[in-house]
Amino acid sequence: MAANEHPNELRRFVHWGPITVLIITSIVTLTTWRWWPSDLTFSTSAHFGLFVLLNLLATYNFVMAVLVGSGLLLRKWKPVDYRETKLMQYCKKCEGYKAPRSHHCRRCDRCVLKMDHHCPWINCCVGWANQAYFVYFLFFYMLSNLHAAVVLCCVGFRFISGFYYSRQLEEVLRLHFFSISMCIFGFGLAVGIVLCMLKLLLIQMSGILRNQTDVEYWILQKASTRRYLAKLKPFVFPYDLGWYANLGQVFNIESQMRSKGIHWALRSGCDRYDLTCEQLAQKADKRKRTRIYKCIRNFTGYWLPIWSQGLWVTISIPCTDDPRIILQPDDIIRVTRIRKHWLFGERVIDGSEDRRKDQRKGPIRGWFPCRCAIDITKEASEIKMKSKIESEQGDMKAILGYNSWTGKQRLGKINQD
């Protein structure tokens, strides 16, 4: 039922993320090549061969991570047995059910199979289909930049110290200022990349060894708190098969393809819907904590709303890349996160707007300033209660009416008799 669709793979390169990676790689590689020792010994040639090989492997895995993509769940996907839909979350955007371990990515605007995280550097998600390529890229990119940093450091030091002792340093610095600056800049870039890649690699490998995605890590954190407070048994993560088998789920193509991104191997005693049921329970808890707000002032949805909201609100913007929502007076918002000056929530779409989907621009979930809305949770629950009572009264009248009608009918029937 699932398929790994690759819409417009090449267009993924037309984005600041992949373009920046390719520019940075070119700067480090060309600078290192320009400064490569000119003595043709076996050692320098072997080093150069290794440098080229590491660069090729890093570039190949980067390109494959972008082109292959994360693996997408088909739109309108549903399980073969319809009864199983009760154990799954529904994705309104994709108009289908979320298969186990699938999550909707806001930036890709699709449900992604075994979604780990959305990576702007590859301009798509890291997921079931491309996680191995992504990890290989981190590894080879780290090694190639480590190699470049060591070479640039040694060669640059030898170059400058040679002229320092011959007392021609000032002259050489003046003549080769650009080249020396590039050497120092290239060295700084390479060291920065090594540290970033090392951190990302450690995060990725610790997740892979537990067979846990970044998204699942947060679900498990919430599960332990929820179950502790509800005095339930601790949650057992159903996909942890032991470190060796876990590695195979990502790096062994045969075992990776067997799952098709949907049918995952389980540890004994676990069910394939354990995690989805836990997610549903967490969602229900979240719904209980949700506050209802009503918009009283327009909000433009700008990232730095200095003119409309003032300096203080602008300075206190939430440090996340979540979207901002455009609001108009009387909009109703379901708020799930509260900060001092900002709120995060989802704008309620009424039936008429739902039918005319393109009426309001911008995302419906995101941040907006506190001063643009007021909390009407109490009033909303009273209205809800009132309408519930009215509907119940309506039901009662209908029942009474039915009863009186049947009574009269019965009475008439008795009189006739």
Report the interface residues with Zn ion, using CB under 5 A: 91, 93-94, 104-105, 107-108, 111, 118, 125
Q: Using the minimum distance from each CB to Zn ion, give the nearer residue, 12 or 118.
A: 118
Question: What distance in Å separates the CA atoms of residue 123 and residue 9, rounded to the nearest whole number?
Answer: 10
Give the amino acid at 183: C
Structure tokens at 403: 């009863």
Identify the active-site residue in 94, 119, 183, 370. 119
Q: Using the minimum distance from each CB to Zn ion, give the nearer residue, 11 or 413.
A: 11
Buried b (16+ CB within 10 A) or exposed e, 342-356: bbbbbbebeeeeeee
Question: What distance in Å separates the CA atoms of residue 239 and residue 250, rounded to the nearest whole number?
Answer: 13
CA 256 to chain centre: 21
Q: Using the minimum distance from each CB to Zn ion, give the nearer residue, 108 or 143.
A: 108
Tell me the backbone φ, ψ of residue 33, rounded to 5 degrees.
-65, -40
Q: Using the minimum distance from each CB to Zn ion, give the nearer residue, 125 or 149.
A: 125
Q: How far is the CB of 87 from Zn ion (least distance, A)?
A: 17
Q: Using the minimum distance from each CB to Zn ion, give the nearer residue, 101 or 118.
A: 118
Q: Using the minimum distance from each CB to Zn ion, give the nearer residue, 111 or 189.
A: 111
Kindly report the length of the chain. Answer: 417
Please enumerate, as own/partner, the contacts of 177-186 that have beta carbons within 8 Å and a separation of 24 or more.
179/34, 179/35, 180/156, 182/27, 182/31, 182/34, 183/31, 183/35, 183/152, 183/155, 183/156, 184/156, 185/27, 185/31, 186/27, 186/28, 186/31, 186/32, 186/35, 186/148, 186/152
Q: How far is the CB of 91 from Zn ion (least distance, A)?
A: 3
Q: How far is the CB of 335 from Zn ion (least distance, A)?
A: 22
Q: How far is the CB of 110 from Zn ion (least distance, A)?
A: 6
* 270 is a catalytic site residue: no
> Minimal CA–CA distance to 4: which of 111, 104, 107, 98?
111
Residue 90's DSSP bridge partners are 97
Quick check: 77 and 2 in contact, CB under 8 A? yes
Quick check: 197 and 142 in contact, CB under 8 A? yes
> Minimal CA–CA distance to 12: which of 102, 107, 114?
107
3-state secondary structure of 368: strand
Please enumerate, as own/partner, the contacts of 375-381 that have beta carbons within 8 Å and a separation of 24 or more.
375/291, 375/292, 375/293, 376/292, 376/293, 376/294, 377/291, 377/292, 380/292, 381/292
Q: Using the minimum distance from each CB to Zn ion, give the nearer residue, 77 or 299.
A: 77
Q: What is the DSSP letter of 324?
A: B
Q: How far is the CB of 244 from Zn ion (least distance, A)?
A: 29
Q: How far is the CB of 118 from Zn ion (least distance, A)?
A: 4
Q: How far is the CB of 93 from Zn ion (least distance, A)?
A: 5
Enumerate the active-site residues: 119
